[in-house]
Structure 1
Amino acid sequence: MDLKLHPELKESLMKLCNDPHTTVVVLSGSDQDVLDDNFGEFNVWLAAEHGMFLRSTKGTWMTTMPEHLNVEWVDSVKHVFEYFTERTPRSHFELRETSLVWNYKHADVEFGRIQTKDMLQHLWTGPISNASVDVVQGSRSVEVRAAGVTKGSTIVRILHEIVQSKSISSPIDYVLCIGHFLEKDEDIYTYFEPELPNNNMGIPRSKLSDTTKGLGDKKHCKRTSQKPQPLPSLGNRNNGFEKGGNRSSVSPDKVSWSVLDLTADNYFSCSVGRTRTKARYLLPTSDDVVSFLKNLSQAY
């Protein structure tokens, strides 16, 4: 299945990406080819497969995978996904370097749910019974990925490389984080969050303002957290990345400096379509995201 950028987003995204004071990052579960096809013309950082692969603006792909990441389970899981794809009309699966995804978005919903239950039984009693993996269920998908791989767990490596490459030394003005993430990947919101809301299940949020004043005039954005706290540092200046697909050699836990000093007033997290979320704000659909980014780009 081809994934395509919203046709009305190109102009406003191009303007945001070309602003010298703005850094745009696209962090996706999709593979490198999908991101290259959709964002290759933009001055944007790309992070594929939940951040396991990173490409700077107009640069080459590098890997952030831990050196000893075990993916021996991939082939056996692939066989299970192939079997259920054959017996589930209009379903498909994607094979990536660090994960596999089976999707029945276009299949019969009830039949797809029955197949999902059967698939999970096959997986847990066979290929992944002793494997170090996480099984993540979406509304109409099943993903098997290496254990501990989430968007939040890899954001520190991504930011580390960006800060190094752009020689950023002063605190970032604000962070705007918008996404439609599975619950497991919503740790990206809490990574930036100055104060985690006291609700482990997520809470309903107010709708993000349709105007751009949410980033400049705080009275237009209803906030839920009250006491700002500093966030983790990004690591030392030895960035630990090598071009050409080599792995990171420096642990992001070795912290010596920070450019993230966010407060509740300069962090904006927004979930798309999920009413129970760790994000502060809500936009109901992708069309609303397009409208919001249009308004934001016009304010630049």
Structure 2
Amino acid sequence: AGSPKKSMIVVSEFIGCSPSLSGAIRVNPWNVDAVADAMNLAIKMPEAEKQMRHEKHFKFVSSHDVAYWARSFDQDLQRACGDHFQKRCWGIGFGLGFRVVTLGPHFRKLSVEHIVSAYRTTSSRLILLDYDGTMMPQASEYKSPSDEVISVLNSLCGDPRNVVFVVSGRGKDSLSRWFRPVEKLGIAAEHGYFTRWSKDAPWETCFSCPDSDWKEMAEPVMRLYTETTDGSSIEHKESALVWHHQDADPDFGSCQAKELLDHLENVLANEPVVVKRGQHIVEVKPQGISKGKVVEDLISTMSRRGKPVDFVLCVGDDRSDEDMFESIMSSVNNPALPSIAEVFACTVGKKPSKAKYYLDDPTDVIKMLQGLASASIRPPKPASLLVSFEG
């Protein structure tokens, strides 16, 4: 038998096989000194290590031949295009903001007639509504709800078969003040950190004694980005810190938000918090707080109170609301809970979402809610009316 082979490989870091050959010495071929150093290292490397690296490369190359890579590429293409023909493509936006999104075949606009029909046949309804971007346009200068919003919420809350909640990332003080006229409205503030079932009910919190030491680490980082981003600001909540860039230059604000997100994730890697990016915001909040948890708790509580939910409407517009849509589907598939007859998860705007339905804008949302409110006020007419003329 011949002596064991122990050749070394010096490879350019720019070629495709470079990441696959883990035992090779990678170099920048344009750096002559680096190439010389790599060749010198390969020559002087101990014989045992040379042999080990050669065996590793030989085994990899033998098992990953041309046929293997051809099959691999084909499988990747098949996987990427597997449901291509089942999806629909839509062009959204204008100019530099134009993009093409793919939407599922069952994703469609919510029909008011369809949801009103389901609404009339149910008797234990849970209605969950985001606020900013859902009932109030994101670009609106006036953040308090309009008289129209207050009126439709009062109508929905006036139906004893309804439990209506506003589920928002905003603080409890502003939400309490804005929705004071709607006495029976439930509010989940700060993504569910605070919850109350009506105006007269006490606020409940999911954490008895939250650890807020992380705020001392996160706030200086946010302050740095605020100083360098005109139009940005920091919002202090009881449970969270939020960096807003809605009033900053759109492109620069978006770039800064991405950098801030990465920066905070590194700084807070060992803290019991999550860093999330939303609509014109970057937010840091304790782990375990989400709108999805609100949905789970409300459905479970209504079941324990003897009013299992048979109708759920959930409307939201941003990434935090996707947690609600996901939780609704989990609750539907949870055998421990009663089956929910009618489920309407609806996002605002035509975009990829875990929701099955969409509405175009807050105006459409209000019109849909008004349709439900009208159904509560006017009960359905009987299918037939029998009149007796007996004397």
Q: Same fold (TM over 0.5)?
A: yes
Between the aligned partners of 2:358 and 2:161, the Cα distance in structure 1 is: 26
Do the aligned residues in 1 keep the contact of 2:302 with 2:308 (CA within 8 Å)? no
Q: 62-71 vs 22-31, which deviates more?
A: 62-71
Q: Deviations over 1:104-130 (max 9, x none)?
A: 11111122123224423442343x132
Unaligned runs of 5+ in 2: 1-140, 377-391
Please, which of 91, 97, 105 is the counterpart of residue 232 of structure 2?
Answer: 91
Question: Superposition pairs for residues 188-203 of structure 1, below 5 Å?
Answer: 188-193=324-329
Question: Superposition pairs for residues 40-51 of structure 1, below 5 Å?
Answer: 40-42=180-182, 43-51=184-192
Whichever structure has more helix as a proportion of its residues is 2
> Which protein has the larger Cα radius of gyration, Structure 1 or Structure 2?
2
1:138 aligns with 2:274: no
- How far off its partner does 1:71 sit? 2.6
- How far off its partner does 1:7 sit? 4.1
1:175 aligns with 2:335: no
Quick one: structure 1 residues 37 and 170, their matched pair in 2 at CA, closer, same or farther if it must change by over 3 Å? closer
Q: Looking at both structures, which has the greater relative contact order when contacts are Cα pairs under 8 Å and sequence separation is at least 6?
A: 1
Q: Secondary structure at the match of 1:231?
A: coil
Q: Deviations over 1:237-263 (max 9, x none)?
A: xxxxxxxxxxxxxxxxxxxxx5x4213
Quick one: structure 1 residues 158 and 262, their matched pair in 2 at CA, closer, same or farther if it must change by over 3 Å? closer
Between the aligned partners of 1:49 and 1:34, the Cα distance in structure 2 is: 11
Q: Deviations over 1:183-232 (max 9, x none)?
A: x541322322279xxxxxxxxxxxxxxxxxxxxxxxxxxxxxxxxx6536
Question: Superposition pairs for residues 29-108 of structure 1, below 5 Å?
Answer: 29-42=169-182, 43-67=184-208, 69-108=210-249
Residue of structure 1 equivalent to 2:356: 280
Q: 13-22 vs 116-125, which deviates more?
A: 116-125
Residue of structure 2 equivalent to 1:290: 366
Do the aligned residues in 2 keep the contact of 1:81 with 1:93 (CA within 8 Å)? yes
Between the aligned partners of 1:20 and 1:192, the Cα distance in structure 2 is: 22
Do the aligned residues in 1 keep the contact of 2:239 with 2:286 (CA within 8 Å)? yes
Q: 87-96 vs 75-84, which deviates more?
A: 75-84
Between the aligned partners of 2:311 and 2:258, the Cα distance in structure 1 is: 43
* Residue type of the alignment partner of 1:176: L
Aligned-residue RMSD, C-alpha: 2.5
Do the aligned residues in 1 keep the contact of 2:347 with 2:355 (CA within 8 Å)? yes
Q: 280-289 vs 110-119, which deviates more?
A: 110-119
1:231 aligns with 2:334: yes
* Residue type of the alignment partner of 2:348: V
Residue of structure 1 equivalent to 2:339: 261
- How far off its partner does 1:83 sit? 2.8
Between the two proteins, what is the percent identity of the paired residues? 32
Residue of structure 1 equivalent to 2:260: 119
Do the aligned residues in 1 keep the contact of 2:153 with 2:185 (CA within 8 Å)? no
1:299 aligns with 2:299: no
Between the aligned partners of 1:121 and 1:177, the Cα distance in structure 2 is: 31
Quick one: structure 1 residues 47 and 186, their matched pair in 2 at CA, closer, same or farther if it must change by over 3 Å? same
Residue of structure 2 equivalent to 1:19: 159
- How far off its partner does 1:161 sit? 4.7
Q: Secondary structure at the match of 2:148?
A: coil
The number of equivalent residue pairs is 235
* Residue type of the alignment partner of 2:261: L
Quick one: structure 1 residues 130 and 171, their matched pair in 2 at CA, closer, same or farther if it must change by over 3 Å? closer
Quick one: structure 1 residues 276 and 12, their matched pair in 2 at CA, closer, same or farther if it must change by over 3 Å? same
- How far off its partner does 1:6 sit? 3.8
Q: Deviations over 1:138-173 (max 9, x none)?
A: 242111111232111233334455566xxx414323
Unaligned runs of 5+ in 1: 196-228, 234-257
Q: Deviations over 1:259-300 (max 9, x none)?
A: x4213xx11111112521111100011111011111221121
Question: Superposition pairs for residues 135-174 of structure 1, below 5 Å?
Answer: 135-161=275-301, 168-174=305-311
Quick one: structure 1 residues 7 and 75, their matched pair in 2 at CA, closer, same or farther if it must change by over 3 Å? farther
* Residue type of the alignment partner of 1:169: G
